[in-house]
Amino acid sequence: MPTPIRPNVLRMAPYSPGKPIDEVKRELGLSHVVKLASNENPLGPSPKAVEAIQAAAQNLHLYPDAATFDLRAALSEHYGIGPEHLMVGNGSDELIHLLGLIYLSGPADAMVVGDPSFVRYDAAAYLSDSRLIKVALDATYTHDLDAMAAAITPETRLVWIANPNNPTGTVITKTGFDRFLSRIPAHVTVVLDEAYYEYAEGLDDLPNSLDYVRAGAPVIGLRTFSKAYGLAGIRLGYGFASAEIADAIHRAREPFNVNSLAQIGGIAALRDREYLGESIAANTRGRAQIEAAFREVGATPVPGYANFVLAEMGTEAKPIFEALLREGVIVRSGHVLGLPTTLRVSIGTEIENETFARALVKVMGSKVTA
Ligand SMILES: Cc1ncc(COP(=O)(O)O)c(C=O)c1O
């Protein structure tokens, strides 16, 4: 008998990244395929980040700065918070993993997540054999904070809230979040995962994790360079937390968890405000295109504030997903996201969005009467 693998590890599904473009081309004999399935930035990376990374490549024989001193100094200056409150990781995925490691130790610990929400939170529970409490989103596809507060028990250590949420794009309000925080017991820490924050910034009544961390509330904020900053490939996420929590993460992490190119690229991207502005503006324009495309075929886009649009199709979405694939457009079918009558479409370039819109009309037919 080989050494048994822990059952909880085998219960986890490997992360499914969406169908690769080359696979779809090969399988369906297509020459042109558009992928709008992984919530990547269609503008490509900031040219300033690329330039800085190219220059830094000369030093790849050296280990990265284990303390990420310059990157944390740049983030500290940018956000006006001490570097002792900053955590950086190999994508915010790694910070999610590390938070599980420092807080969850087995079946006596529990964590609460929205359902559906970002799938990697679940892994934190599985890897530690801790209890995973899933709380359904409300009828508007938004985190149901009252139900989440009610799901907290003496065993609960962490509550995860993606804001905007993935896969729905919906946001909770600051008013609702404050009420939620006033209801939770002292042994619970709340992770506000703001991977898509930059796209929602400026909305009325939007909570900002930074304010809570500054005020000493039991809140951890997570952000990433993968979305609005366009650096998903280099893997760089960061977070705001109390000095005690950030210190625990530094103890638990690998010594060189953020590679040297990510450290240099992150600083350059943070300073490229022009790129960020265009990235957000292009996303807003693209969202209007995708929402209009869904309305044209009689589907209902969920009001969202991220770099993707979820739409209620009013019918099983898998056949529509498959028909779109045959048209050379890869999106995410809701059946893999826990919402089988929805499609999630990442916002692409103007041309990619038009390609999606045309394919959707071809597959479903226009419901717009002249
Ligand atoms: C809500 C949410 N959090 C975290 C992540 C992970 O981002 P990163 O690329 O920084 O690991 C994603 C990625 O899609 C996400 O949707």
Strands 156-162 and 110-115: parallel
| Closest approach atom of ligand 1 to CA 165 | 1
The structural domains of the chain, with segments of one domain joined by +, span 7-44+274-364, 47-272
Question: Rounded to whole angstroms, how far apart are CA atoms 125 and 323?
Answer: 36
133 Cβ contact list (under 8 Å, min separation 6): 110, 111, 112, 113, 151, 156
- Are 137 and 168 in contact by the 8 Å Cβ rule? The answer is yes
Strand pairing partners for 189? 158
Residue type, 321: F
Question: Rounded to whole angstroms, how far apart are CA atoms 208 and 221?
Answer: 8
- Are 196 and 227 in contact by the 8 Å Cβ rule? The answer is yes
* 10-residue averages of pLDDT along the chain (370 residues): 91 80 91 95 98 97 98 98 98 98 97 97 96 98 98 98 98 98 97 98 97 98 98 98 98 97 98 98 98 98 98 97 96 94 98 98 86
Q: Indicate whether this model's pTM tops 0.95.
A: yes
pLDDT of residue 11: 86
Strands 329-330 and 34-35: parallel
pLDDT of residue 20: 87
Ligand 1 centroid from CA 363, angstroms: 30
Nearest CA to ligand 1 atom 2: 195
Ligand 1 centroid from CA 194, angstroms: 9
Condensed to tens digits (0 to 9), the pLDDT of residues 53-71 reads 999 999 999 999 999 999 9
Ligand 1 centroid from CA 156, angstroms: 23
- Pocket probe for ligand 1: among 93, 161, 163, 236, the residue whose CB has the most ligand atoms within 8 Å is 93
pLDDT of residue 370: 58
Tally the residues of the chain: 370
Element (H, E) at 162: strand 156-162
Residue type, 142: T
| Closest approach atom of ligand 1 to CA 95 | 11
- Are 193 and 224 in contact by the 8 Å Cβ rule? The answer is no
Strand arrangement, sheet containing 300-301? 300-301, 308-312, 342-346, 332-333
| Cα torsion 334, 189, 147, 291: sign | negative
- Is cis: bond before 116, omega within 30 of 0? yes
- Are 161 and 176 in contact by the 8 Å Cβ rule? The answer is no
Q: Is the CB–ligand 1 distance for residue 237 below 6 Å? A: yes
Q: Is the CB–ligand 1 distance for residue 353 below 6 Å? A: no
Tell me the fold of 47-272. Answer: Aspartate Aminotransferase; domain 2 (3.40.640)
Ligand 1 centroid from CA 44, angstroms: 17
Ligand 1 centroid from CA 93, angstroms: 6
pLDDT of residue 18: 74
Nearest CA to ligand 1 atom 16: 166
Give the CATH architecture of domain 7-44+274-364: Alpha-Beta Complex (3.90)
Backbone angles phi, psi at 338, to 5 degrees: 90, 10
DSSP secondary structure letter of residue 63: P
Q: How far is CA 130 from the centre of its chain?
A: 22
Of 59, 58, 76, 56, residue with least CA distance to 67: 76
Question: Rounded to whole angstroms, how far apart are CA atoms 232 and 92?
Answer: 10
Interior/surface letters 151-188, b for 16+ CB within 10 angstroms, e for the rest: bbeeebbbbbbbbbbbbbbbbbbbebbeebbeebeeeb
